[in-house]
Structure 1
Amino acid sequence: MDNQDQLHGSIVVNIFRCSNLLERIGRKLVSEAGLTSVHQWFILSALSNGDLSLKQLGKNTLVTKQNMTGMIERLKQGQYVTTYEAQGDRRVTLVSLTDKGKQALHHLDSCGIANNEASFEHIKLEELSSFNKCLKQLIENMDDK
């Protein structure tokens, strides 16, 4: 195993460690907002710019259609979202935020900002920008497989 292989392995391990910490923090925040999973937060965030189809939501959040359907049903039961048929194609289901969903998202975003400030406190803006670019490329590389 050469240095590059070791570096790749170390990065993967650190991403998993970071993911575990983010999941722990996220579960606490979503619980305070009345949601049951971090993925529900992702869905509400994806809907913040407008209504999306189940297919678009799945693509944006990297969640399978089967899992997305169940998550949307639970969000509907909690009155965070509503669904309706697309006007031009009744086979397409669109999802929309309700007022309760918007309130939950506002609460999560407010709490998230405070957590993010603490998490990124000693990292320069240029480093964050470069890191974000690398993460996007990594996601794109893995999503192609």
Structure 2
Amino acid sequence: MDKEEHLHGRVVMNIFRCSNLLERVGRKLVAKVGLTSVHQWFILAALSAEDLSLKQLGKNTHVTKQNMTGMIERLKHNEYVTTYEAQEDRRITLVRLTEKGKQALAQLDGMGYQSNQESLNCLRLEELNSFNGCLLKLIENMDDDNSCP
């Protein structure tokens, strides 16, 4: 194994480690507002600007249709979202935040901001910008199966 392969492996392993730590922090935050997973938070955040179809939500959050349907049903059961048929095509189910969902998201945004500040305070602004750019390139490469630019 050459140095580049070894570095690739270390980078991937560190991304997984960071993801696990973020998931742990996120689970504690979502539990405070009654959600059961960090993915539910992502769904509420995706709905903050506009109503979206199940397909659009899945694409935005990288969640499969089967998993998305179950998560929406749980969010709907707990009154964080509501669903309705699209006027132009009744086969399309649209999802909307309820007032309870908006309140939960507002609480999570506040707690998330504080948590992010604490987690990322070890990086300078230039480092954060560079790191964010690298993550976006990686996501784009993995999502579309393109090579890194």
TM over 0.5: yes
SS in 2 for 1:49: coil
Task: Say yes or no: does 1:4 pair with 2:22.
Answer: no
Letter in 2 for 1:129: N
Q: What is the alpha-carbon root mean square deviation over aligned residues?
A: 0.8
Letter in 2 for 1:29: L
Deviation, structure 1 residue 136? 1.1
| Aligned equivalents of 2:95, 2:2: Cα separation in 1 | 48
Task: Say yes or no: does 1:133 pair with 2:133.
Answer: yes
Cross-structure match for 1:81: 81
Gaps of 5+ in 2: none
Cross-structure match for 1:25: 25
| Aligned equivalents of 1:67, 1:30: Cα separation in 2 | 18
Task: Say yes or no: does 1:64 pair with 2:57.
Answer: no
Deviation, structure 1 residue 72? 0.2
SS in 2 for 1:48: coil
Gaps of 5+ in 1: none
Deviation, structure 1 residue 125? 1.2
Deviation, structure 1 residue 22? 0.5
SS in 1 for 2:117: helix
Q: For this pair of structures, how many residues does the alignment match?
A: 145
Cross-structure match for 1:117: 117
Identity of aligned pairs, percent?
72
TM-score (norm 2): 0.95
| Aligned equivalents of 2:51, 2:126: Cα separation in 1 | 33
Cross-structure match for 1:14: 14
